[in-house]
Amino acid sequence: MSDNMRLRVRFEKTGAIRYIGHLDVMRFFQKCLRRAEIDVAFTGGFSPHMIMTFAQPLSVGLESHGEYMDIEVHSVTDSQDMLERMNAASVPEIKIVSVKRLPENAGNAMASVAAAKYLVSFREGRTPALFKEDPARVNEAISEFLSKETIPYVKEGKKGTREVDLRPGIFEFFVKEDQSLEMLLEASSGDNVKPAQVLDALLALHDDSLSENALQISRLDTYTRKVSVDGILGELLSMDEVGEIF
């Protein structure tokens, strides 16, 4: 039985790095961990690689303040030391926020994702007519939208189109004081609701649509669900709440 420890690393991805794809982010962290001299465990076989998993990959062009990576290590110093060493080996646009030791029963980052919170705003000159109205009217339109039992939406994929119901995957959706939008949406492997899909569906009810490249989106955090001792899934919690500082 392995005596290795599993760590969860929370990091931010901002600035020009938001245009770097997921595979390049993986390669970056492989080099970063080597430079930081983190005692990462490797797989066996003829082609060993670092044991690491990432939570839901971020779409190219999006910034995030709540990305997660799980790594398996042979040994550790302490959370603060490892955080500082990784940041010293990183770049300003990828900032390590926390390093925590995971309990033995914790699921890996990829399998644990249940939801994601987003901050959304419109690029200059591309705000739909609905969102130019009085904030009270916008909130009223969102309340009416969320009161619907079903919100049908046609998704396009590699296998063609299919109609889905977005409503179960919209946990929160509201306008902030600065007129930006905050959304907490389903992001599990079984389903994945995106901010643009929610806005498309809302605007369609008002005979409007999003213009090309209208949205500026930042992922604020990624969430998992609490699991009871008998395996029942409970409320959402930040993936940063799983594990402990060491």
| CA proximity to 222, closest of 104, 115, 137, 106 | 115
Cα angle value 198/15/98 (rounded, 5°): 85
129, amino acid identity:
A
State the pLDDT confidence band at 209, using cuts at 50, 70 and 90: very high
Q: Which residues pair with 124 in a beta bridge?
A: none
How much is the pLDDT for 42? 96
Tell me the average pLDDT of the chain: 93
What is the maximal distance between C-alpha atoms in the chain?
63
**Residue 1 above 50 pLDDT?**
no
Q: Residues near 229 by Cβ (< 8 Å), separated by ≥ 6?
A: none
How much is the pLDDT for 229? 60
SS3 107: coil
Q: Enter the pTM of the model.
A: 0.92
CA distances from 191 to 56, 72, 180 (A): 12, 28, 25
Delimit the domains of the chain by residue range: 5-112, 127-210
Judged on CB neighbours under 10 Å (0-12, 13-18, 19+), 132 is exposed
Q: Are 11 and 54 spatial neighbours (Cβ–Cβ below 8 Å)?
A: no
Q: In this structure, how many other beta carbons lie within 10 angstroms of the beta carbon of residue 138? A: 18
Domain 5-112 in this protein, CATH class: alpha beta
How much is the pLDDT for 92? 96
Residue scoring higher pLDDT (133 or 27): 27
The rounded distance, in Å, linking the Cα atoms of 42 and 113 is: 24
Q: Using the structure block, give the residue that is written with the tokens 């969860």.
A: 8
The rounded distance, in Å, linking the Cα atoms of 52 and 228 is: 26
State the pLDDT confidence band at 157, using cuts at 50, 70 and 90: confident
How much is the pLDDT for 3? 80
How much is the pLDDT for 107? 86
pLDDT, one tens digit per residue, over 43-64 is 988 889 999 999 988 999 999 9
**Residue 228 above 80 pLDDT?**
no
The rounded distance, in Å, linking the Cα atoms of 166 and 59 is: 19
Residue scoring higher pLDDT (159 or 58): 58
SS3 27: helix
